[in-house]
Amino acid sequence: MKAIFITNLFLFLLFITPVNGQEFGQSKKLFSTPGFKKMKLKYEQCVLSKGELFAKVSTPSEAIKFAPIACKREILEIKQFFLNSAFKKAVITALIDSIKEGVEIDLVNIVYKERLKYLKK
């Protein structure tokens, strides 16, 4: 009984490793395409520029909240790009959230730098 279990476990591990490697390879290829990089850069630039503009006329929290909303079209282009791939919707949602979170980190830094410039004047 233990021998059968161990054999099944070994076969499972033997076959699961190449599948995971293929999945990571597909996502890596997708992220390295020029089209994806261009769309992501466009989204980043849009959010950061809107955040900088909003920081001049509103509070930092409002700038951080509304700058990504102002660039909704760009993030929807990225989402459509992923929908055309073989990823599941849950994975696509996680990827989009990851992109948003990365840009929001940079946005916070830009907004507070802009506010510091304003306060020094």
pLDDT in tens, the chain (121 residues): 555 544 444 444 444 444 444 455 666 676 778 888 999 999 999 999 999 999 989 999 999 999 999 999 999 999 999 888 878 899 889 999 999 999 999 999 999 998 888 777 6
Residue with the two structure tokens 């290829």: 29
Residue 101 is which amino acid? E
SS3 3: helix
What's this model's pTM, rounded to 2 decimal places?
Answer: 0.73
**Which bin fits 30, alpha (ψ -120 to 50), beta or left (φ > 0)?**
alpha
